């Protein structure tokens, strides 16, 4: 949420300034390797992926300042999507000029030199406020960048701004009531899906997803507790990655962040995750964050992938059509599918999901506030300023610590629900001999925006086998139904754009792999996206 008048009003629409109008004929010499098929010759820069951007800056065919200016202009054109809380325009252009100066001086450029990224506004940034989209933190200024972000900055990435989110990341719609209300009391500025402005982009990392999909940032960072990088990636036609996390104490995290480097929900489940238009871009950012090598795409012939029935039932017809077509393309490419279910996984996951997510904040939130010298120090002080009704409800459960007993049962070593879930996945991968599992990221495409109720809305309409139905769960439960189980197990997960419905809405497909198989999972994803191709860009 903006912290002053200039931040509140920075995103006024300045008119549709095209990249081509600003850049003349620069785009003709750019290296292109499979840019989006819907991009027009008039705006060549908008089609570039993050991997292509850094390659072109390094080889001298693209100026970092030129590209940054194009992204800022595009952000202003797309201002009505409400993707950003703060646009770092002046400093981002200054940093881009410095990259060009280093290039001209013959200096060695970092792996991400000149790459604009957007950062979800719950991730610590030392040069920009980190508000979490919540009133209590409107003046919160961390002293350091989150370690994952710092790795990207050290490699030359430039933070274009802080992206919008569901308040405190406690929701799935990215309808944030902190950003202003109309006379009815409803949210006046919900974050909007670029493919259909009447629909949600997903959450809680909705702003990052919208910025990437709307082509004013090639990549960015989100966070993921129950699906917050992958649900918005699916709804917005981009790729989103959740790395392996490890145990509840933070041991075994692949990424270097701790519970005090971003606004916390669950120390067991929270993680920063990269978001981009291609899996190759995610692999590039992941390699920089972890210090590893960028993998090459996995050959698909003979690759064994599991199809657990628990994740293939009760799909909306429009999602099933895209999913079946995507699955056929993989079969044609030589993938071997194994029809074997993760028996009992949904019931088991239900025993721990809310207990973990709503008990751990009791201690995690005060610890973060103290470690970062925040303007407030307690859960009660944060709760007193909350603006979003559904988040008020979540904080009520936290303040009352209503899940303490269920949490203790879930976390018993070796025999608790979480240990059982981890064993279920581990045994499945070993017994079936599969390298990952595949299924639609969400049961249905992006739902309509409900500005009054947000993610506390009732059941959602959808169609199964031609029969109109209503989902068994509310918006939140429906959207995270497929993305949530892997988060409690701590295994890596990736959503890949698979196509558009007949109505023009994106559908993502998710692959999950064994704990620690992150790089291999990204390599598989790169092989899959080569078969599926890119999705048509949204019309802004």
pLDDT(517) > 50? yes
Percent of the chain with pLDDT over 90: 84
DSSP 491: -
Of 476, 484, 471, which is closest to residue 454 (Cα–Cα)? 476
CB 78 within 8 A of CB 214: yes
DSSP letters spanning 344-405 = THHHHHHTTHHHHHHHTHHHHHHHHHHHTT-S--SHHHHHHH---HHHHHHHHHHHHTTTHH
SS3 of residue 444 by DSSP: coil
Q: How confident is the model at residue 253 (pLDDT cuts 50, 70, 90)?
A: low
The owner of tokens 């370690």 is 147
Global pTM?
0.91
Sequence-separated (6 or more) residues with CB below 8 Å from residue 4 = none
CB 473 within 8 A of CB 461: no
Query: Which region among 188-197, 210-219, 288-297, 334-343 has the lowest average model confidence (pLDDT)?
Result: 188-197
Q: Which entry of 58, 76, 103, 120 is annotated as an active-site residue?
A: 120
Of 421, 145, 444, which is closest to residue 318 (Cα–Cα)? 444
Cα angle, residue 257 at apex, residues 124 and 166 outer, rounded to 5°: 50
The average pLDDT across 56-65 equals 98
Task: Assess whether 12 carries a catalytic annotation.
Answer: no
Distance (Å, whole) CA 27 – CA 10:
28
Taking only the tens place, the pLDDT of each residue in 372-429 is 999 999 999 999 999 888 899 999 999 999 999 999 999 999 999 999 999 999 999 9
Q: Which entry of 39, 148, 174, 204 is annotated as an active-site residue?
A: 204
pLDDT(72) > 50? yes
Q: How many CB atoms lie within 10 A of CB 431?
A: 9
pLDDT score for 314: 96
Say which residue, 102 or 23, is predicted with more confidence: 102
pLDDT score for 389: 87
Task: Assess whether 204 carries a catalytic annotation.
Answer: yes
CB 223 within 8 A of CB 120: yes
Q: Where are the alpha helices (DSSP H) in 411-459?
A: 417-432
Average confidence score pLDDT of the chain? 89
pLDDT score for 459: 86
Cis-peptide into 263, omega within 30 deg: no
Q: How many CB atoms lie within 10 A of CB 21?
A: 11
Q: How confident is the model at residue 512 (pLDDT cuts 50, 70, 90)?
A: very high
Distance (Å, whole) CA 178 – CA 493:
30
Taking only the tens place, the pLDDT of each residue in 145-166 is 999 999 999 999 999 999 999 9
Query: CA 367 → CA 24, 361, 418, distances in Å?
Result: 51, 9, 24
Helix (H) or strand (E) holding 190: none
Distance (Å, whole) CA 23 – CA 417:
57
Say which residue, 7 or 298, is predicted with more confidence: 298
pLDDT score for 25: 29
The average pLDDT across 268-297 equals 97
Query: CA 165 → CA 161, 247, 343, 522, distances in Å?
Result: 13, 26, 34, 25
Distance (Å, whole) CA 506 – CA 501:
6
The average pLDDT across 93-117 equals 98
DSSP letters spanning 17-35 = --HHHHHTTGGGG---SS-
CB 151 within 8 A of CB 194: no
pLDDT score for 296: 98
Give the pairing type, strands 506-512 and 436-440: antiparallel
Q: Where are the alpha helices (DSSP H) in 40-145?
A: 50-59, 64-77, 89-104
What the block records as the tokens of 71 is 């992204």
pLDDT score for 163: 96
pLDDT score for 43: 80
Q: How confident is the model at residue 458 (pLDDT cuts 50, 70, 90)?
A: low
Q: How confident is the model at residue 287 (pLDDT cuts 50, 70, 90)?
A: very high
Contacts of range 469-474, beta carbons closer than 8 Å, 24 or more positions apart = 471/443, 471/444
pLDDT(180) > 60? no
Percent of the chain with pLDDT over 70: 87
Q: How confident is the model at residue 177 (pLDDT cuts 50, 70, 90)?
A: confident
Distance (Å, whole) CA 116 – CA 66:
12
Beta bridge partners of 239: 276
Q: How confident is the model at residue 246 (pLDDT cuts 50, 70, 90)?
A: confident
Say which residue, 30 or 305, is predicted with more confidence: 305
Task: Assess whether 39 carries a catalytic annotation.
Answer: no
How many CA atoms, within 13 angstroms, populate the side-chain half-sphere of residue 323? Answer: 25
pLDDT(14) > 70? no
Q: Which entry of 39, 228, 455, 534 is annotated as an active-site residue?
A: 228
pLDDT(16) > 50? no
Taking only the tens place, the pLDDT of each residue in 263-280 is 999 999 999 999 999 999
Taking only the tens place, the pLDDT of each residue in 470-495 is 999 999 999 999 999 999 999 999 99
pLDDT score for 540: 87
CB 211 within 8 A of CB 191: no
Q: How confident is the model at residue 190 (pLDDT cuts 50, 70, 90)?
A: confident
Distance (Å, whole) CA 239 – CA 417:
30
- Of 3.90.650.10, 3.90.1300.10, 1.10.10.60, 3.40.50.720, which CATH number belongs to 42-294+309-532? 3.90.1300.10
Q: How confident is the model at residue 250 (pLDDT cuts 50, 70, 90)?
A: very low
Cα angle, residue 77 at apex, residues 72 and 83 outer, rounded to 5°: 75
pLDDT(2) > 80? no
pLDDT score for 450: 80
């Amino acid at each position: 949420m903006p912290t002053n008048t200039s931040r509140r009003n920075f995103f006024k629409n300045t008119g549709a300034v095209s990249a081509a109008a600003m850049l003349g004929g620069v785009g003709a010499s750019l290296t292109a390797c499979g840019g989006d098929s819907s991009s027009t010759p008039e705006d060549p820069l908008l089609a570039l992926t993050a991997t292509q951007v850094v390659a072109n800056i390094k080889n001298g065919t693209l100026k970092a300042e030129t590209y940054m200016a194009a992204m800022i202009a595009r952000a202003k054109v797309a201002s009505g999507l409400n993707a950003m809380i703060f646009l770092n325009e002046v400093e981002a252009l200054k940093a881009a000029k410095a990259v060009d100066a280093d290039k001209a001086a013959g200096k060695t450029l970092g792996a991400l030199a000149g790459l604009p990224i957007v950062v979800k506004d719950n991730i610590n940034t030392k040069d920009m406020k980190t508000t979490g989209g919540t009133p209590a933190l409107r003046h919160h200024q961390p002293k350091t960048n989150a370690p994952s972000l710092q790795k990207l900055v050290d490699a030359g990435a430039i933070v274009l701004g802080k992206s919008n989110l569901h308040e405190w990341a406690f929701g799935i719609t990215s309808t944030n009531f902190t950003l202003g209300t109309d006379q009815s009391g409803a949210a006046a500025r919900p974050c909007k899906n670029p493919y259909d402005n009447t629909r949600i982009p997903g959450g809680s990392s909705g702003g990052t997803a919208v910025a990437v999909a709307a082509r004013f940032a090639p990549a960015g960072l989100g966070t993921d507790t129950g699906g917050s990088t992958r649900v918005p990636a699916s709804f917005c036609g981009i790729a989103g990655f959740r790395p392996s996390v490890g145990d509840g104490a933070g041991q075994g995290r692949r990424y270097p962040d701790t519970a005090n480097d971003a606004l916390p929900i669950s120390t067991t489940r929270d993680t920063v995750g990269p978001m981009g238009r291609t899996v190759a871009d995610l692999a590039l950012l992941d390699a920089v964050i972890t210090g590893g090598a960028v993998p090459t795409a996995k050959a698909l012939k003979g690759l064994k992938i599991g199809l657990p029935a628990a994740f293939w039932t009760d799909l909306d017809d429009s999602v099933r059509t895209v999913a079946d077509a995507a699955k056929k393309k993989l079969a044609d490419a030589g993938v071997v599918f194994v029809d074997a279910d993760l028996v009992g996984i949904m019931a088991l996951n239900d025993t721990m999901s809310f207990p973990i997510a709503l008990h751990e904040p009791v201690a995690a939130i005060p610890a973060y506030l103290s470690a970062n010298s925040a303007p407030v120090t307690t859960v009660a002080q944060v709760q007193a300023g909350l603006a979003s009704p559904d988040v008020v409800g979540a904080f009520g459960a936290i303040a009352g610590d209503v899940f303490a007993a269920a949490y203790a049962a879930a976390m018993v070593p070796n025999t608790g629900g979480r240990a059982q879930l981890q064993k279920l996945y581990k045994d499945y991968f070993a017994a079936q001999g599969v390298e990952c599992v595949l299924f639609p990221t969400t049961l249905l495409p992006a739902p309509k925006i409900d500005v009054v109720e947000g993610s506390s809305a009732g059941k959602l309409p959808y169609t199964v086998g031609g029969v109109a139905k209503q989902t068994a769960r509310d918006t939140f439960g429906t959207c995270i139904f497929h993305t949530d189980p892997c988060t409690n197990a701590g295994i890596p997960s990736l959503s890949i754009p698979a196509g558009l419905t007949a109505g023009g809405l994106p559908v993502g497909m998710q692959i999950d792999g064994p704990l620690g198989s992150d790089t291999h999972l990204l390599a598989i994803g790169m092989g899959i996206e080569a078969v599926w191709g890119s999705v048509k860009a949204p019309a802004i």
